[in-house]
Amino acid sequence: MDPKETVAALEVKPEIANPLVQEVMERSGQPLLACYQCRRCAAGCPVGEETGFVTPDRLIRMINLGDREAALNNALVWQCVSCYTCGTRCPNDIMTGRITETLKKMAKEAHLEPLKPKVAFFHNTFVRSGLRWGRLNEGEFITLYELKIFLKDALRFRFKAIYNEIKSQIKLALSMMGRKRLHFGIQSSQGRREIKRLYKKSKAKRAS
Ligand code: SF4
Ligand code: SF4
C-alpha cells in the first residue's frame, strides 16, 4: 500500500462526525477523531484515581460515541487540573485539558448542576475576575470564592462545613503569606479591554 494512502486513511474528517464531536473539536481545537485509544494519557493523569472510571481516553471515547450526557456530567470534567500531562504523552497531540475546559463551559451553558460545585464556583469566580481586571487578583478572588461557599453552606445550615472551610483556608492563607505568595492589592492588566472584547466576540459567535 502506498504510504500516502495510509496517511489519508488516518485523516480527521469532522464533517462526518456526530454533532457532539464536531462541537467539542471546534471549541477545544483538539483532533478527537485521531484518538486511537492507546491510553498513554490515562497512565499519566494525576487525577485518574479520583474520577471513578473516567480517564482522558474514556472521556474522548464518550464524546466520539456521541454520549452527550456522560461527556458533560462526569468527575474528570470537574477535577482535571489542566496539567497537560495527557497532551505531552499523546502521540496525536490531543490535549484533554482543553477538552475538559470546553465541556465545563458546555455543561454551564446547558444549566447542568455541576458534580463538584466548589470547582464550578472556583471556575466562575476565576473567569469573572480575569474579565474584570484582565488578570487574577488573589485577594479579591479568594474573598468572592469563599463568600459563595459560605452562602451555599449557610443556606443549608451546614455550620460544621463552614467551620472546616474557614479553618482550612486560614491555614492555607498563613502558609501562603509566609512564602509571600498571597497579594491583597488590586492590579489590572493593560490589555483588559482587549480580553473583554475577545470574550464578548466568542460569546456572540457561539450564540449565532
Ligand atoms: S494518548 Fe492520545 S491517542 Fe492515546 S488514548 Fe490518549 S488521547 Fe487517545
Ligand atoms: S490535563 Fe487534566 S486530563 Fe490531562 S493529565 Fe492533567 S488532569 Fe488529567
Give me the residue spans of the domains in the chain.
14-109, 117-207
Any idea how long the chain is? Answer: 208
Q: Please tell me the distance between residue 46's alpha carbon and the centre of ligand 2 in angstroms.
A: 7
Confidence at residue 202, expressed as pLDDT on a 0 to 100 scale: 82
pLDDT band (50, 70, 90) for residue 123: confident
- The CA-atom distances, in angstroms, between 152 and each of 116, 124, 142, 155, 181 are 13, 15, 15, 5, 28
Pocket of ligand 2, candidates 96, 101, 119, 123: which has the most ligand atoms within 8 Å of its Cβ, to mutate?
A: 96
Number of H helices, E strands in the chain: 12, 0
Q: Please report the atom of ligand 2 found closest to the CA of residue 55.
A: 3
What is the average per-residue pLDDT within 29-58? 93
Lowest mean pLDDT among 11-25, 47-61, 71-85, 121-135: 11-25
What is the rounded distance in angstroms from the CA atom of residue 169 to the CA atom of residue 175?
A: 10
Share of the chain above pLDDT 70, in %: 91
Strand, helix or coil for residue 159:
helix
Confidence at residue 1, expressed as pLDDT on a 0 to 100 scale: 46
Q: Is the Cβ atom of 94 under 6 angstroms away from ligand 1?
A: yes
Contact assessment for residue 191 and residue 134, using Cβ atoms and an 8 Å cutoff? yes
What is the average per-residue pLDDT within 131-149? 90
Mean pLDDT of the chain: 88
First to last CA, the chain: 44
Class of domain 14-109: mainly alpha
Residue 8 has pLDDT above 80, yes or no: no
Q: Please tell me the distance between residue 112's alpha carbon and the centre of ligand 1 in angstroms.
A: 27
Single out the residue of 114, 133, 152, 148 nearest to residue 199, CA to CA: 133
Contacts of residue 136, Cβ cutoff 8 Å, sequence gap at least 6: 126, 129, 130
How far does Cα 19 stand from its chain's mean position?
A: 21
184-195 pLDDT per residue, tens: 888 888 888 999
Nine-digit cell at 2? 502506498
pLDDT band (50, 70, 90) for residue 12: low
Share of the chain above pLDDT 90, in %: 54
Predicted structure pTM score: 0.78
Strand, helix or coil for residue 137:
coil
What is the average per-residue pLDDT within 112-136? 88
50-94 pLDDT per residue, tens: 888 899 999 999 999 999 999 999 999 999 999 999 999 999 999
Q: Please tell me the distance between residue 21's alpha carbon and the centre of ligand 1 in angstroms.
A: 15
Ligand at minimal distance from the CA of 38 is: 1
To the nearest 10 degrees (0 to 180), the angle between helices 138-155 and 159-178 is: 170
What is the rounded distance in angstroms from the CA atom of residue 127 to the CA atom of residue 155?
A: 25
Residues with CB under 6 A from ligand 2: 44-47, 56, 80-86, 96-97, 100
Single out the residue of 77, 163, 137 nearest to residue 112, CA to CA: 77
Q: Is the Cβ atom of 36 under 6 angstroms away from ligand 1?
A: yes
Ligand at minimal distance from the CA of 80 is: 2
Confidence at residue 63, expressed as pLDDT on a 0 to 100 scale: 95
Residue of the nearest CA to atom 2 in ligand 1? 90
